[in-house]
């Protein structure tokens, strides 16, 4: 006797399975298996986690996928080429968002749109930002502190250098942060101390690939309250010092660009 057919699987069971397959399969594979699978793939539950980062899609198609969640999306990973219009559309259509991942490389103007829409994500718990957001990082964190009371996880990736200004902004606006990733940049001892002294509720701090110095006893003592402090660095080399110098210069250029951008957007 033949066993049950996949197309005859009850919809709730099928939807439960499809929630685990990923955005790409939901778009390019599942809908073409059979009609019942296509109908199941339209269920909003399948679109709670949306990953656009590896999908080259037109703007209208991005909106179509956002609409499929019917406001239920809780985690969204945006592509590098995401225009302001789609970014604002996401904020309007996905108020239940808990995790937002921005690409490490994106347009600078996105860093100025982000603080304008954060107030719509009251449930936001996690945010990953990249280099362009350093232009407007303080305002981004301020908006999070005002509107996202459950926020606990910040990832800052590929920012040239975390200095006292950025470290102080983290402490001022996110003193109760629990998970903090500061990888693939440079952070000096002074800035790291500011974070360790000001964020007493940290349970996870990752500064790998960002330190060009070994943590001394004082730093380790300041970090003793952190259950998972990832800070191991390799032996410094000429490449490391060159990288540090390059990032310092880049940071100065970004600081200048930041002032120019703020002047432009304030007019």
All structural domains of the chain with their residue ranges: 6-266
The CATH class for the domain spanning 6-266 reads alpha beta
CA-only gyration radius of the chain, Å: 21
pLDDT, the chain, mean: 81
Residue 126 to residue 180: CA distance in whole angstroms: 10
**Residue in this structure with the two tokens 């380790």, named with its chain if needed:** 220
The ranges of the chain with pLDDT < 70 are 1-9, 105-111, 132, 160, 212-213, 233-267
Instruction: Please identify which residue in the block is written with the tokens 């350093």.
Output: 134
CA distance 171 to 198: 5
pLDDT of residue 106: 56
Phi and psi, residue 26, nearest 5°: -65, -30
Per-residue model confidence (pLDDT) at position 100: 95
Residue carrying structure tokens 């490490």? 104
Q: What is the pLDDT of residue 1?
A: 44
Q: Of 81, 137, 129, 84, which Cα lies nearest the Cα of 104?
A: 129
> CA-CA distance, 158 to 138, in Å (whole number)?
17
| pLDDT at 237 (0 to 100) | 44
Q: What pLDDT shows up at residue 239?
A: 41
């Amino acid at each position: 006797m033949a066993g049950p057919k996949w197309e005859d699987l009850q919809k709730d069971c099928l939807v439960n399975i499809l929630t685990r397959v990923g955005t790409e399969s939901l778009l390019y594979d599942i809908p073409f298996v059979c009609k019942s699978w296509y109908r199941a793939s339209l269920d909003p539950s399948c679109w709670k986690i949306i990953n656009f980062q590896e999908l080259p899609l037109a703007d209208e198609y991005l909106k179509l996928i956002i609409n499929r969640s019917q406001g239920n999306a809780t985690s969204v990973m945006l592509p590098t080429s995401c225009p302001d219009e789609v970014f604002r559309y996401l904020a309007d259509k996905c108020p239940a968002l808990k995790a937002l991942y921005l690409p490490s490389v994106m347009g600078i103007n996105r860093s100025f749109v982000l603080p304008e829409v954060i107030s719509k994500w009251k449930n936001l718990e996690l945010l990953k930002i990249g280099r362009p957001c350093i232009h407007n990082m303080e305002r981004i964190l301020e908006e999070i502190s005002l509107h996202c009371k459950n926020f606990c996880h910040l990832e800052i990736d590929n920012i040239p250098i975390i200095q006292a200004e950025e470290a102080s902004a983290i402490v001022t606006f996110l003193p109760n942060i629990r998970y903090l990733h500061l990888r693939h940049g440079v952070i000096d001892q002074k800035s790291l101390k500011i974070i360790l002294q000001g964020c007493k509720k940290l349970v996870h701090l990752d500064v790998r690939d960002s330190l060009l110095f070994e943590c001394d006893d004082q730093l380790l003592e300041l970090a003793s309250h952190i259950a998972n402090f990832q800070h191991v660095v390799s032996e410094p080399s000429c490449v490391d010092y060159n990288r540090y110098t390059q990032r310092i210069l880049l940071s100065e250029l970004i600081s200048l660009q930041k002032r120019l951008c703020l002047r432009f957007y304030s007019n």
